[in-house]
Amino acid sequence: MKQVLALASLLALAACSTDPQTHASDDDIVGGVDASGRAVAAVNGILSFDRAGINQSGCTGTLVSPHLVLTAKHCVLTHDTPNPPTYLEAGGSMEYRLGPSWTHPSKIVRVTKVYQCGLSTGGHVGLGCDVALLRLESDILDIPPLAVSATPLAADQVGTPFTAVGYGVTDAANRPNTSGTRKMASLTLRAVTGPGLHALYPTLVDFGAALDAVEGPGYMMRNRPYYEALYDQPLLEGYEALAGGGPDEAQDCHGDSGGPLLKRVDGKLVIYGVASTVVSGQKQVCENMGTVYATLGPDAHAMIAVAERP
Amino acid sequence: MGRSAVVGARGKSAGSYAADIGLHGARGFTMRILASLVLLGAVACASPSKDVQARDDGLTNGLGPTDAAVGVLFALDGTRTNIVCTATLVDASTLATSRRCAPSLTDAAGRVKPNMYFKLAADLGDPSAKVVAIDAVSSCLESTKCGFAAAHLANPISDVAPIPLAPFGVTANRDQPYSTVGFDPSLRRVTASALVHARYGGSLVVAGGGPNGAHLCVAMDVGAPLLVELDGQAFLLGVASIPHPDALDREVCSAGTPFHTLNASVRQLFGQPIPIAPGPSTVPTAAACGDETEAGRCDGDVAVRCTTAAEGVRRVTRVDCAESLQTCRPPGTASTTVSCGDAP
């Protein structure tokens, strides 16, 4: 139930895409830009289908070995029950769609197995460690995988730049047809401990004013219990971080879930987290208030180690 | 997204509403419809009155293109968009749906959750589907007398003809051509006949089912309308109330669908203003971007552009392509807008 409550208070980022064959938009991660370079070719779309073959969700995942894709745990779960089965367990299927557009993929590789990060309660989406791995049916050998950081995000990285990549919706109204194109954004790491939104808004009044500026006067007060709890919710230490939310920073939204938080280290891109959830609104479905990222601590590395066993 | 829906019904273009419908939906319970009706309380406990008189009011057979006012309420909930219920536009700013849908739309204090929307389209996957936020919901206090809820749209829908509440009640028999509207598994809107074959007290009928009858079932079909056309005008007579949202058993659904119908309590509900009105939008306009354009430009390896109106708040964003080992590509090279990519 805790999980359900947490989900109700925040908006996770998987997109519903009722028709994956819709054409791609010229728009972006809300405010981002197209990302076509080979350096980010390891970041691709994930579509999940129910047992009737109906597309139920779209997410983003990163190739971390020729046959393993890093994404968010909530992207693999059907959420039909308090202890949800994965799409595979529920008789559905998942696809990893290569290329800048998941509507026109250069290749589709089926997912054969799902690994979930150990901690399963707490945090902003109630799933604890919101990280998962997908095992692919066949190796992808023509795209270099990205490295996973050996160390979790640390306090001394707060204030430094990162890059987000994802396939999420690109407009304020969350229209599914605007998702499905690889976009990227520059984000600043805001917090790794404590209530993440406090790093962006010093007081609840500031937070409310920012909401009202977008949603209209009185919006915060009409929904005060919801947003007040959100404002004070601490990051799950060691498992979550907040990035983005700056005035000139683009904003993750639905479909960007599982997308990597990248940093350039010694001339290579390294993954430090996967997109987990954002602050939701009405007029602006994903408020420009940053993204909670699931970070890659010991639990996530243990999961990766298990998945890499032959 | 919640599964559910009208199964096997022909789309409107088939030109016939004598559909063979069954709905599938979710999972879990398999209780029979009689048990379902018992759960409806006092209304369901009343004896069915099957000796209702046929109307002689010139009802036409079937419906014209009137189902355009029927859409779905959906929530951005957890990992995906979940369809909550079906709803019908009864005037430009008001939807009628089932009272059972209200708890999914509101918080414990009765306020609309901030992520609730109405989608109006013949195909819910249509990129041009109309989507409007819900900003208020009211439902009857006395559940045994009124199974309706009224939802208010943040912005009116003026280009689709609403289906108003009927100024009369259900007085039909098996020959009366009522209709209902739902969405099939491919999320396309379908219309089907729904002959009323039982009436319970003054606020509930069972319609559909039988060898040739339409029936709705479970999940998002809750709130689906019971419609009638009179002299070319469609009217709303009821909303589907399906007690067991996880019914899987086709046989359960084929027994027919219970619809809450209009009565004085419902008319009172819709006769009152729905509390809570949205504030005016203060979203900044393109002027907030100064000289920056939507197509954008490269400032060294930084892509700079003004967000579009579709992206909501207008502002200038900056993306440092070099941070991800790419270079900035001006508009018209790799994309119509500024982008990050490999050096040419």
B278 at A interface, C-beta within 8 A: yes
Model pLDDT, residue A105? 94
Q: Which of B27, B6, B22, B14 is nearest to B72 (CA)?
A: B6
Most confident segment among A95-99, A302-306, B5-9: A95-99
Residue B244 has pLDDT above 70, yes or no: no
Handedness of CA B263, B269, B270, B271 (dihedral sign): positive
The answer to whether B77 contacts chain A (CB < 8 Å) is yes
* Contact list, B305 vs chain A (CB under 8 Å): 33
CB interface of A with B, residues 259-298, below 8 Å: 262-264, 267-269, 280-285, 288
**Amino acid at the residue B162:** P
Largest CA-CA distance found in chain B, in angstroms, rounded: 81
Chain B, 295-314: which have a CB under 8 Å from a chain A CB? 296, 303, 305, 307-308, 310-313
- For A75, the token pair is 């992207």
Tell me which residue in B303, B316, B341 faces A37 most closely, judged by beta carbons.
B341
Residues A187-210 have a mean pLDDT of: 95
Which region among A38-52, A122-136, B110-124 has the lowest average model confidence (pLDDT)?
B110-124
If DSSP codes are grouped into helix, strand and coil, which group holds residue B48? strand
Report the distance separating Cα B218 and Cα B23, nearest Å.
7
- Name which of A16, A35, A40 is nearest B1 (Cβ-Cβ): A16
Predicted local confidence at residue A219, as pLDDT? 84
- Token pair belonging to B44: 């369901």
Assign A176 a pLDDT band (cuts: 50, 70, 90): low
> At a CB cut-off of 8 Å and minimum separation 6, what does B302 contact?
B318, B319, B320, B321, B322, B328
Minimum-distance CB partner of A33 among B154, B323, B340: B340
pLDDT 10s digits, B120-167: 988 887 767 788 888 888 877 665 667 899 999 988 999 999 999 988
Query: What is residue B89's predicted lDDT score, i.e. its pLDDT?
Result: 96
Nearest residue to B112 via CA among B121, B125, B100, B103: B103
Residue A18 CA to residue A23 CA, distance in Å, equals 13
pLDDT averaged over chain B?
A: 68
Interface test with A, best of B80, B246, B281, B304 (most A CBs within 10 A): B80
Structure tokens at B129: 């589907």
Judge whether residue B204 has pLDDT over 90.
Answer: no
pLDDT tier for residue B216 given thresholds of 50, 70 and 90: low
The answer to whether residue B29 scores a pLDDT higher than 60 is no
- Residue of higher predicted confidence among B17 and A198: A198
Give me the pLDDT at residue B110, please: 65
CA A43 to chain CA mean position, Å: 12
What does the pLDDT read at residue B38?
28
pLDDT score of B109: 60
Q: Under an 8 A CB cutoff, do A23 and B281 touch?
A: no
User: How would residue A307 be classed by pLDDT, with cut points 50, 70 and 90?
Assistant: very high
Residue B155 to chain A, least CA–CA distance (Å)? 11
Nearest to B33 by CA among B25, B22, B42, B44: B44
Binary contact (B325, A282; C-beta < 8 A):
no
Of B49, B43, B132, the residue nearest B89 (C-alpha): B132
Q: A29 contacts in B (CB within 8 Å)?
A: none
pLDDT class for B208, splitting at 50, 70, 90? low
Point out the least confidently predicted range of A75-84, A148-157, A204-213, B75-84: B75-84
Closest CA to B63 of B256, B248, B233, B314: B233
Taking the C-alpha atoms of residue A169 and residue B294, their distance in angstroms, rounded to an integer, is 17
| CA atoms of A116 and A135, how far apart (whole Å) | 11
Q: How confident is the model at residue A174 (pLDDT cuts 50, 70, 90)?
A: low
> For residue B122, which residues of chain A lie inside 8 Å, CB to CB?
none
What's the mean pLDDT in A31-51? Answer: 94
Least confident piece of the model among A41-55, A139-153, B5-19, B146-160: B5-19
How far does B205 lie from chain A, in Å, by closest CA?
30
* B166 close to B235: Cβ distance less than 8 angstroms: yes
Answer for the pair A72, A79: CB distance below 8 angstroms, yes or no.
Answer: no
Provide mean pLDDT across the span B162-173: 75
Q: How many residues does chain B have?
A: 344
- Whether B308 has a pLDDT exceeding 90, the answer reads no
Q: What percent of chain B has a predicted confidence (pLDDT) above 70?
A: 58
| A300 sits in which H/E element | helix A298-308
pLDDT per residue as tens digits for the range A260-271: 999 999 999 999
Within 8 A by CB and 6+ apart from A15, the residues are A57, A58, A59, A167, A168, A169, A174, A176, A179, A253, A254, A255, A257, B80, B81
B36: confidence class by pLDDT, cuts 50, 70, 90:
very low
Touching B: A residues 29-88, CB under 8 Å: 30-40, 50, 52, 54, 56-57, 74-75, 77, 79-80
> Between B178 and A257, whose confidence is greater?
A257
Q: Is A90 on the interface with B (CB under 8 A)?
A: no
Q: Does residue A160 come out as left (phi exceeding 0), alpha (psi in the -120 to 50 range) or beta?
A: beta
* Nearest by CB: A184 against B78, B127, B340: B340
Q: Interface pTM (ipTM) of the complex?
A: 0.90
Distance of alpha carbon A17 from alpha carbon A176, whole angstroms = 5
Determine whether the interchain pair A79/B131 forms a contact, defined as Cβ–Cβ distance below 8 Å.
no
Contacts of A11 in chain B (CB under 8 A): 76, 115
